[in-house]
Amino acid sequence: MENIFTDEYFMKKALLEAEIAFEKGEIPVGAVIVVDNKIIARTHNLTELLHDVTAHAEMQAITSAANYLGAKYLKDCTLYVTLEPCQMCAGALYWSQISKIVYGASDENRGFVKMRTQLHPKTAIVSGVLEKECALLMRAFFRLKR
């Protein structure tokens, strides 16, 4: 039997969260955190709703996963996020010691790669998973806003 729990499978779950954000008028970034093929956190950007510039999907997911685990470190966890984390989120992910980050679309202007933000040396990075789908949703959102 084929393993359905692939990076694409979990990125589709993050994309569902991004679509919820889109419908709420939030920048459409969605995130899920997975441990042992189980989603333990699912969220999306909440900056508009919470009036909080730090309420990015990744930040919400880190808090939710840490609460679920009862631990501050996210070792053995994977974050799936539809957009490359920004410098702030990458810093929080560094401190969380998350094992793996998988992201969809690159953020050419504000992403951690462009900003040269270091992640934890033990954190694996996978980029470009469902990149087209993630980028399409982001472009559609900003087209509506302009």
Q: Which residue ranges are tagged as binding site for Zn(2+)?
A: 56, 86, 89
Task: Judge whether 84 counts as a catalytic residue.
Answer: no
Q: What is the DSSP letter of 1?
A: -
Task: Please state, in angstroms and as integers, the Cα–Cα distance from residue 45 to each residue in 50, 82, 122, following that order.
Answer: 10, 11, 26
Closest CA to 81 of 54, 53, 62: 62
3-state class (DSSP) for residue 32: strand
> Which amino acids are annotated as binding site, given as ranges?
56, 86, 89
Q: Give the span between the Cα atoms of 114 and 11, in whole angstroms.
A: 22
Tokens, residue 62: 């880190």
Given the residues 17, 58, 84, 131, the one annotated as active site: 58
Catalytically active residues, by annotation: 58
